[in-house]
Each structure stands twice: as C-alpha cells, then as structure tokens.
Amino acid sequence: MPAYEFQALDADGRVRKGVLQADTARGARVQLRERALAALAVHEVDGAAAGRRQPRLGASGRVLLTRQLATLVGAGLPLDEALAALADGVEGRARVLAMALRARVREGATLALALGDFPGTFDALYRGSVAAGEQSGHLAPVLLRLAQHLESREALRRRLLGALAYPALLLLVALLVVAGLLLYVVPEVTAVFLRSGQALPLPTRLLLGASRVLGTQAYWAGPLLLLGVAAVAGGWRRPGFRRWRDARLLALPWLGRLLIAIDCARFARTLAMLAASAVPLLQALRLATDTVGNSLIRASLERVAVQVRAGAPLAQALSRDTRFPPVALRMIASGERVGRVDSMLDEAAAQLERELDLTASVAMATLGPAVILLVGALVLFIVLAILLPVFEMNQLVA
C-alpha cells in the first residue's frame, strides 16, 4: 500500500502534517475527512522523491531505525510487515523513510535496492551489508551488526571531538584576547612613549608594528580570509592537492600518528563487520577502504585489495603496503590460519580502538599545556614590550 504525505487544516485552523497509507490519493483524502481534517496537499511518497525532499536522517536516528528493524525481522515478521510496524513506531523523517522503503519493497524491490533511493542516509557500506544479508538469508543479524557498527563509529567520533574541544576553545579564546590587547590596549599605552620621543626597544617596535598592521589593515582580513577559504575549497577535492595535504598531515609529529590510528581502527572495524555479515572479502575490502579519510592510506589499501585478488593472504598484504600496527597484523594472520578471520578482525579493531584512545589522550594531554605555554609566551612578550620603555624612562629620570 503506498504512503502519502499530507498537509491539512484541523478544526481549530492549524496546519497539520504527516504521513498515512492508502490505496490511492483519493483514499488518503477520505481518511483525512474521517479524521475531521481538511486536506490542503496530498502527494505520494516514493523513494526518489522522499530522498530529494527530506533532510538526511542523523546518526542516532539511523541507529535507532536499524536496531528496531533488526528486532522486528529477527522476530519472524516478513519484511513488508516489519517496515509497516517500524513506521507505526517512529515519527518524523524516520516514519517517512520507513513508509517509502515499504512502498518500494511492496513493488518487488529488495531492501538494499530500496535503500539506494536514500544515498544521503544509507551509504554504500550500509547497502552492501544489507544486500549480503538478504542473499545469505541472515538479514536480522546483519542489521544488528550494522547498528552496533554505527554506534561504535559515532561513539569514536564523539570521543575525538570531545578531546579536541578543550584545546580548540582555549586557542580561540587566547587569539581573541591577544587581538584585543593589540587593537585596544597596546595603542593607548604606547602612545605615551611615542609622544616622549625616546628611542623604543626592539620588542616594543615589533609590538607597535603588529598593532598598527592589525588596526589599519584589518579591513583586508575579511576578503583575504574569504579568498583563502575559496582557494582551499576549490582545491580540496582535487587529487593532487589532497595527496599533498594528506602527506603533510601524516608527517606532523603527533597528529600523523593520530590520523593513522583513526583510519586503521575505522578500516578494521568496518572490515570485521562486513566479514561477519558474509560479504565477500574483495567487496568488503572495497567498502571498508571507502571509509578511510586519508587519500594516501586509501591508496595503500587499494593496493592491498589488488594483492588479495592475486592470492596473497590479507595479513601479508596489509604488512607490505600499510601502516597497520604489528599487533593487529599478527591477530589477523592468526585468524586466517584458524579460519576465524571475522572474529580476529573484530579483536584487532578493538585493539586498534584502545590504542587510538590512548594516543588521543596523550596527544590532547600534551596539546592543552602547549597551547597554554604559547599563550603565556605571547602575553609575556606583550607585557615586556610595554614595560621595557617604562624601565628606560625610570633610568633616565634617576
């Protein structure tokens, strides 16, 4: 039964929006009249149209929808009835998605094909896993693993953002304080020294120059910033610029290690989930590689897929061309020997995530004091640049 979105007026004259199921648009209007609603607009919800109109479903909403669908399918409900029950249990965008998916499934499409109408919400990894689950007849366990994978990925992202929040906020406040000193405090104080006509020491002259440039040339800051952002945005997607940028990032002392740990943990966790979902290894390698952010690491993983296609063991191929930690490689190799690649990949992913948490904790613990020392050095320079002329004036008076 198709789904229809509607806008209608209730008895109090308020606009009501929602989704209902009916055989035709006329039947939907009849249902609205039975609810004492005056229909303003009624149109059918199909996958492609809903994908264009509706905002993307967030990470938490995607996890909830996946977990509920896994429970319903695992309880033995046919997919059509499971999607109908899912639509009855959720609201808003999730309800529209569920009803659109049900409409496509009733037309004869598989769930993976129906998910393809919403590429902004369900990526290739999600659709590939669902397709493998449908082909193997184990859709419910695959959906449950997908929900766990999405939760793990979102938790990792939140931990990293939380670790970066304090140093970033501290640096922002420090820059604002220094800019305020240079724009308002320094000109007022140093005007006295300039009127006296005495020779100023080098730190004071440097501070005056910085204050003058910031005060008189500030109107250039906005256009220059916009030009810089436009230049970076224009080259961001170009392969040459991305390779240069990613190489520079990996060469940084602690940030490079952190980025490698993030991509390795993400790749291992995704590959473990796909292997457990009975996705063929080569397809799983391709899907897991697409989740890696750094282009250099992604290129090395693409070479790994080529070697595996040629018959090389996974652990051996990873050890040749990637920066995977040795402990994870040994775990994957032992899993290949005993025929338990999926479980050992899962253990390797957990190990990599623990190392990532440790690396991020050490990096953030170092970055916070480093920012404080940098701010202290800047403030000390400003104070000394202001006090040095005062000391010289006192010596002349003495």
Which of 44-53, 194-203, 243-252, 330-339 shows the lowest per-residue confidence on average (mean pLDDT)? Answer: 44-53
The answer to whether 347 and 331 are in contact (CB under 8 A) is yes
Contact 20, 28 (CB under 8 A): yes
Cα dist from 309 to 264, 313, 324, whole Å: 21, 9, 19
Chain-centre distance for alpha carbon 397: 63
CATH architecture of the domain formed by 57-198: Up-down Bundle (1.20)
CA dist list (Å): 138 to 114, 116, 324 = 18, 20, 31
pLDDT tens per residue, range 248-307: 888 887 778 878 888 888 888 888 888 877 788 888 888 888 888 888 888 888 888 898
Q: Give residue limits of the domains in the chain.
A: 3-45, 57-198
Greater pLDDT, 223 or 154: 154
Burial of 34 (0-12, 13-18, 19+ CB in 10 A): exposed
Q: What is the pLDDT of residue 39?
A: 78
Would you say residue 315 has pLDDT above 60? yes
How far, CA to CA in Å, does 332 sit from each of 185, 234, 341? 61, 40, 6
Look at residue 250 in the predicted model and tell me its pLDDT. 84
State residue 49's pLDDT score.
47
pLDDT number for residue 173? 82
pLDDT at 297: 87
pLDDT above 70 (res 161): yes
> Which residues, listed in sequence order, are joined to residue 5 by a DSSP beta bridge?
19, 43
Give the sign of the dihedral formed by CA 72, CA 74, CA 77, CA 83.
Answer: positive
Q: Between 4 and 155, name the one with better pLDDT.
A: 155
User: What average pLDDT does the structure give for the chain?
Assistant: 79
Cα four-point dihedral sign 277, 280, 285, 288: negative
- Asked if pLDDT for residue 135 goes beyond 60, the answer is yes
> Is the pLDDT score of 55 beyond 50?
no
pTM: 0.64
**Residue-level pLDDT at 389:** 76
Burial of 294 (0-12, 13-18, 19+ CB in 10 A): buried
Confidence band for 51, pLDDT divided at 50, 70 and 90 = very low
Query: Of residues 394 and 114, which shows the higher confidence score?
Result: 114
Cβ 13 vs Cβ 39: under 8 Å: no
The predicted model gives 158-180 an average pLDDT of 79
Q: What is the pLDDT of residue 52?
A: 44
| pLDDT score of 50 more than 50 | no
Determine whether 275 is exposed, middle or buried from the number of CB atoms within 10 Å of its CB (0-12, 13-18, 19+): buried
Measured distance CA(337)–CA(313) in Å, rounded: 10
pLDDT value of residue 290: 83
Nearest CA-CA partner of 204 in 378, 393, 387, 385: 385
pLDDT in tens, 336-382: 888 888 788 888 888 888 887 787 777 777 777 887 888 788 888 88
Tokens 């989930």 correspond to 273
CB atoms within 10 A of CB 292: 20
